[in-house]
Amino acid sequence: MHLLDLFRKNIEEDRLLDLVDKYSEGMQLHGAEVVKMMRLVAWCLQNDYTKRPSMSMVVKVLEGAMNIESDLDYFFLNPPLPNMRAGVDDQKEHVVVATPLLPSILSGPR
């Protein structure tokens, strides 16, 4: 939770480079590319699954043929799952449990 808050704060303040390991020469040398990857991650973590990029879009970004979406929401927390209770099916005498597949957990079709 704390790291997501720190990430959100730094991305909103355009200070992602502050999160790059200062003791890693390689990370510092490729800081701009590291920041680009963090922005791509933010795009992939959108709570609204319709705003997430498809894999082909991610590949295009990695190849440099496409830019990362700029109008993003940086609140990455998944909504809590509804309180689902197990019920008993009177006809078959076994426990029935329903687990919803939320869009934030399972991306829908593109």
Residue 109 within a domain: no
First to last CA, the chain: 29
- Give strand pairing partners of 95: 88
Residue ranges making up the domain that contains 45: 2-63
Task: Please indicate, yes or no, if residue 26 is contained in any of the structural domains.
Answer: yes
How far, in Å, are 19, 75, 84 from residue 9 at the CA level? Answer: 11, 10, 34
Handedness of CA 77, 52, 12, 22 (dihedral sign): positive
Q: 11: pLDDT confidence band, cut at 50, 70 and 90?
A: very high
Residue 110 lies in a domain: no
Chain-centre distance of CA 82, in angstroms?
20
Residue 89, beta-bridge partner list? 94
Q: Is the pLDDT of residue 23 over 90?
A: yes
For residue 18, pLDDT over 90 is answered with yes
The per-residue pLDDT for range 66-106, each reduced to its tens digit, is 999 988 998 877 555 555 555 555 555 555 555 565 655 55
In a domain, 72, yes or no: no
Three-state secondary structure call for residue 70: coil
Q: How many Cα atoms occupy the beta-carbon half-sphere of 84 within 13 Å?
A: 11
Domain count for the chain, please give it. Answer: 1
**Whether the model pTM is above 0.75:** no
pLDDT digits (tens, 9 = 90+) for 27-72: 999 999 999 999 999 999 898 889 999 999 999 999 999 999 988 9
Average pLDDT, the chain: 81
> Quick check: is 107 in a domain?
no
